[in-house]
Amino acid sequence: MEARINKDMIIADMLKIDVGIAPILMASGMHCIGCPSAQGESLEQAAMVHGIDADELVNVVNEYLENK
């Protein structure tokens, strides 16, 4: 079974699944991956703060995970 993420997941938990997700998030404009709020913030919350479409980002990350 392959790993998948969703927009309700905490960013820190996503990075535990695969650290390769970090460059994807940073490339989308989330440069604060290591900041304290990322430890307790969901992908959807972080996307909203950064003006990013959370659903689109979920699709990009899941595509990365599927193609590893």
The model's pLDDT over 18-41, given as tens digits with 9 standing for 90+, comes to 999 999 999 998 877 777 776 788
Taking alpha carbons only, the member of 32, 29, 16 closest to residue 65 is 16
Per DSSP, what are the bridge partners of residue 42? Answer: 10
Q: Which helix (H) or strand (E) holds 15?
A: helix 11-17
Residue 1: the pLDDT is: 55
Strands (E) located in 1-68: none
Q: What is the pTM of this model?
A: 0.88
Percent of the chain at pLDDT exceeding 70? 96
